[in-house]
Amino acid sequence: MKIAYWIFTILIAALMVLSAIPDVLMVDGAVQIFEHLGYPRYLLPFIGIAKLLGAVAIVQPWFRRLKEWAYAGITFDLIGALYSHLSVGDGVQFLVPPILGLVLVAGSYLTLRKLESRQSAAGTV
């Protein structure tokens, strides 16, 4: 279970970091997509920094509540991306990344909860 947790967690953290870098740097492609979706460009670096912070929060082992909030934030970001692309009629190629991200974040969160419940049952929390 621990291996599954780390696989899911590293993959979703990597997805968030790789998608955040163009946002923070305001790369032309990221700006075009953001404007295509109808969002103002000044919001892009904010979203990118939030993604970076969320990725850091889900891999750190010390602050459980922060980790919970990070999972929620990443989930809202991915649902927002999926909804935004659906709303403007984008094709499947734009829907796959947020769907894949949602699968990864669900896998990471659910395996974390399973590990925590096992530790709690064993009295090692």
Count of domains observed in the chain: 1
pLDDT in tens, 103-116: 999 999 999 999 99
Q: What is the distance between the alpha carbons of residues 118 and 124, in angstroms, rounded to a whole number?
A: 9
pLDDT in tens, 83-103: 999 999 999 999 999 999 999
Residue 11's nearest CA partner among 105, 97, 76, 110 is 105
Look-up: residue for tokens 């009629």?
89
Domain that holds residue 116: 2-122
- List the structure tokens of 22: 């163009």
The contacts of residue 79 (CB under 8 Å, 6+ apart) are 98, 102
Q: Write down the pLDDT at residue 125.
A: 53
